[in-house]
Amino acid sequence: MVVHAGTKKQAEYLKYSIARRLKECGLEVNEGKTRIVFCRDGQRTGAHAHERFTFLGFEFGARGALNTEGGIVDKFLPAISPEAAKEIRETVRIWRLHRRSRHTLTLPTTSTPWYISVQASQATWNITFTWLSP
């Protein structure tokens, strides 16, 4: 759950109120995952303990963006989280795209079309010769 507040005092009050209401419903707030984050940007400056948070695979934090005059200013914007980016890279790496080719090998012969199909496994090469009859 993400809740926005105008001030730190309001955020602390909302955190307390939500925790109290959840307790009435038999639930509790996970204090390890609950934090108050300062949304720093070009207009709200200062150093705080927590200035970023991750939610649903996105990391929200201060990032450079273009303003209306074309200058770069800090805005509090989402981007892919480092954990989600790592997971995507690992998935793509498993596909082994660097080992694939869209080309087929052809044996040059005078009149008979022969095609070589090469399949690579980890330790062996399987080569199949196929003769296409006309």
Q: What is the pLDDT of residues 101-124, one digit of tens each?
A: 776 655 555 555 555 555 555 555
What pLDDT score was predicted for residue 97? 79
* pLDDT tens-digit map of 8-49: 899 899 999 999 999 999 999 998 888 888 888 877 777 788
Q: Sketch the domain layout of the chain as residue ranges.
A: 1-36, 37-131
**Count of Cβ atoms closer than 10 Å to residue 107 Cβ:** 10
Query: How many Cβ atoms from other residues are within 10 Å of residue 61's Cβ?
Result: 20
25 vs 47: CA distance, rounded Å:
36
